[in-house]
Amino acid sequence: MINEKVTVKTFQQMKDEKEKITMTTAYSYPLACIIDEVGIDSILVGDSLGMTVLGHKNTLNVVLEDSIRITKAVSRGVKRAFLIGDLPFLTYGINVEETKRNAGLLVKKGDCEAVKLEGGKERLEEVEAIKSIGVPVLGHLGLTPTYLNIFGGFKVQGKKHDDAEIILKDAKLLEEAGVFAIVLESIPWKLAQQITEELSIPTIGIGAGEFCDGQVLVIDDILGLNVQFKPKFVKQYTNLRESVKKAVTEYSDEVKSGKFPSEEFRYD
């Protein structure tokens, strides 16, 4: 594990040295502290916060203020990891000036070190504009959740030859435009492998197989907090939902029965 602060340069170094890049999402100060302490290389405050934290059915309702507030909270817990904020739906894609301003605001007020946005060839000008004010950009291709209504649901992308070609081409165009890495979400592993081999910047996979340069998972999925839906690519490493249920039930039972608070928990 690289001991010093992870930067955008570390990402490239890790690809070049074939060291896998680890990334999780985070949405709160306490979890950010734990994730950072463990040595995860990068933390993404994804617009998935709309679903995990705010309870929306998808990410489309997230506004810039949500992302700024939550990214700022996470930033207070991060010392080593590279912190990336996620530009929500409609904070880009309108015009380049607005995109640049919104990216700048997320960094300025959210205290992150880079931003992510979704999309391929339609984003090139915006990527360059964001970089021009000094903000590194992470791309995102494949199952890009803000395109949910175009895709007709959360479906694997790039299965057909022509669709795969478009994703590969978009990846190359994004690299040329200057993104420092690209998230590949829910695409066939062979396509992700080809993109990873043909690009010189790192790929970060989520549901894109083992050949990507790094992996990202939503922290709620890792911890077993998400019960709404579980895509095939999610590996749940613990069941916090059950632990929380057990603890809160025990607390409630003890209050009802008068067992808590006992003498040791009171002041004289």
| Residues known to be catalytic | 185
Tell me the CB-side half-sphere exposure of residue 95, using CA atoms within 13 A: 2
In whole angstroms, how close is the CB of 33 to ligand KIV at the nearest point? 19
Please say whether the beta carbons of 186 and 157 come within 8 A.
Answer: yes
Name the DSSP class of 91.
S
Q: Which is nearer to ligand KIV, 188 or 207 (CB)?
A: 207
Residues that bind ligand KIV (CB under 6 A): 25, 44, 46-48, 86, 140, 183, 185, 206, 216, 218
The string over 229-255, giving b where at least 16 C-beta atoms fall within 10 Å of a residue's C-beta and e elsewhere, is eeeebbebeeebeeeeeeeeeeeeeee
CB of residue 118 to ligand KIV, shortest distance in Å: 8
Q: How far is the CB of 29 from ligand KIV (least distance, A)?
A: 18
99 or 146, CB closer to ligand KIV?
146
For residues 215 and 44, give the distance between their C-alpha atoms in angstroms, rounded to a whole number.
Answer: 12
Gyration radius from the chain CA atoms: 20
Residue 139, beta-bridge partner list: 182
Beta carbons of 181 and 201 less than 8 angstroms apart: yes
Would you say 86 or 113 has its CB closer to ligand KIV?
Answer: 86
Q: State both tokens at 195.
A: 């993109």
Residue nearest to ligand KIV according to CB distances in the complex: 46
CB of 216 to ligand KIV, least distance (A): 5
Q: How far apart are CA 115 and CA 136, in angstroms?
A: 7
Q: How far is CA 76 from CA 28, 112, 132, 133, in A?
A: 9, 10, 26, 24
Smallest gap from residue 51 Cβ to ligand KIV (A): 9
Nearer to ligand KIV, 126 or 185 (CB): 185
Nearer to ligand KIV among residue 208 and residue 265 (C-beta): 208
